[in-house]
Chain A
Amino acid sequence: MELHLASAAEISRQLVTKQISAKEVVHHFLSRISRLDAGLNAFVHIDTELSLHQAEQIDNRRASGDALNPLAGVPIAIKDLLCTTDMPTTCGSRFCAGYMSPYDGTVIARMRAAGMPWLGKTNLDEFAMGGSTETSIFGATRNPWDVGRTSGGSSGGSAACVAAGLAPLAIGTDTGGSIRQPAAFCGVSGFKPTYGSVSRYGVVAYASSLDQVGPMAHTVEDLALAMDVISGHDPLDSTSLPRVAPGYAAGLSQTPLRFRVGVVREQIESEGLNPEVRAAIVNALSVLKDCGGEVREISLPHSKSWVPAYYVIAPCEASSNLSRFDGAHFGFRAASGDGEKSSSPLVDMYSRTRSQGFGAEVKRRIMLGTYALSAGYYDAYYLKALQVRRLIRHDFDLAFQDVDLLVGPVTPNVAFRLGEKVDDPLQMYLEDLYTVGANLAGLPALAIPCGRSQAGLPIGVQLQGKPLDDAFVLQIGHRYQQAIGWRPSPAPLS
Chain B
Amino acid sequence: MEAESGTALMNSIPYSVVIGLEVHVQLKTKSKLFCRCSTEFGRPPNTQVCPVCLGLPGALPVLNKRAIEYAIRTGLSLNSQIASFTKWDRKNYFYPDLPKGYQTSQFDLPICSRGFLDISDSKGAFEPKRIRFVRAHLEEDAGKSMHDEKAGKADSRIDLNRAGTPLLEIVTEPDLRSPQEARAFLTELRLLLLYLDVSDCNMQEGSLRCDANVNLHIPVEGKVVATPITEIKNLNSFRAVERAVAYESTRQWDQWKIDAVALGQRPKQTRGWDDVQGVTILQREKEESSDYRYFPCPDLVPVILNQSDLTDAQASLCELPAAIRSRLVQQYELKDYDSDVIVSQGKAIVDYFEQAVASGGPAKRVSSWIQQDILRLLNERQQSLSELGFSAERLADLTKAIEAGVVDTSRGKEVFAKMLDQPNLSAQAAIEALGIKSVGEDELMVLCRQLLTDNSKVIAEYRGGNPKALATLIGQAKKKNPNADPRKVQEICKQLIDSGAV
Contacts and interface: CB of A to CB of B under 8 A. Distances in A.
A176 interface: no
B55 interface: yes
A411 B92 CA distance: 35
Contacts of A105: 58
A238 B56 contact: no
A298 to B, nearest CB: 29
Contact of B102 (A99, A235, A320): A320
A320 B301 contact: no
B54 interface: yes
Given A83-B57, A235-B62, A329-B54, A317 B94 contact: no
A255 interface: no
A320 B293 contact: yes
Given A201-B59, A204-B58, A324 B295 contact: no
B322 interface: no
A102 B46 CA distance: 15
Contact of B58 (A82, A209, A326): A82
A324 B100 contact: yes
Contact of B60 (A200, A320, A382): A200
Residue among B57, B60, B62 with the highest chain A CB neighbour number at 10 A: B57
Interface stretch (A152-160, A373-381, A397-405, A414-422): A373-381
B57 A101 contact: yes
Interface in A72-93: 82-83, 89, 91
Contacts of B300: 238
B291 interface: yes
Interface in B299-334: 299-301
Given A102-B51, A320-B90, A96 B57 contact: yes
Contacts of B56: 83, 101-103, 324, 330
B365 to A, nearest CB: 57
A208 B59 contact: no
A328 B60 contact: no
Contact of A99 (B57, B96, B301): B57
Contact of B55 (A82, A101, A103, A329): A329
Contacts of B54: 329
A201 B94 CA distance: 24
Interface string B47-73: 000010011111111110000000000
A350 B94 contact: yes
A324 B163 CA distance: 14
A68 interface: no
A323 B298 contact: no
Contacts, number: 100
A329 B291 CA distance: 24
B99 interface: yes
Given A208-B298, A236-B62, A320 B92 contact: yes
A330 B58 CA distance: 13
B45 interface: no
Interface in B327-375: none
B298 A209 contact: yes
A324 B92 contact: no
Given A235-B62, A326-B94, A370-B293, A320 B55 contact: no
Interface in A200-232: 200-205, 207-209
A207 B94 CA distance: 19
Contact of B301 (A101, A205, A238, A374): A238
B101 interface: yes
A237 interface: yes
Contacts of A373: 92, 293-295
Nearest to B154: A345
Contacts of B301: 238-239
B295 A323 contact: no
Interface in A169-211: 200-205, 207-209
A317 B297 CA distance: 9
Nearest to A346: B96
A377 to B, nearest CB: 10
B58 A205 contact: yes
Contacts of B92: 319-320, 323, 373
Interface in B57-107: 57-63, 90, 92, 94, 96, 99-102
A375 B91 CA distance: 12
B57 A317 contact: no
A323 B58 contact: no
Contacts of A235: 62
B295 A201 contact: no
Contacts of A239: 298-299, 301
A252 to B, nearest CB: 31
Nearest to B143: A329
A370 B294 CA distance: 11
Interface in A36-92: 82-83, 89, 91
Interface of A: 82-83, 89, 91, 96, 99, 101-103, 105, 200-205, 207-209, 235-239, 316-317, 319-320, 322-326, 328-330, 346-347, 350, 370, 373-375, 378, 382
Nearest 5 CB-CB pairings of A with B: A323-B101, A208-B298, A373-B293, A209-B298, A202-B58
19 contacts: A83-B56, A99-B57, A101-B56, A201-B60, A204-B58, A208-B298, A238-B63, A239-B299, A319-B92, A319-B293, A320-B90, A320-B295, A322-B101, A323-B100, A323-B102, A329-B99, A329-B158, A373-B92, A373-B294
Interface of B: 51, 54-63, 90, 92, 94, 96, 99-102, 158, 291, 293-295, 298-301
Given A237-B60, A329-B55, 9 more contacts: A103-B56, A204-B57, A209-B298, A320-B101, A324-B100, A329-B54, A347-B94, A370-B293, A378-B293
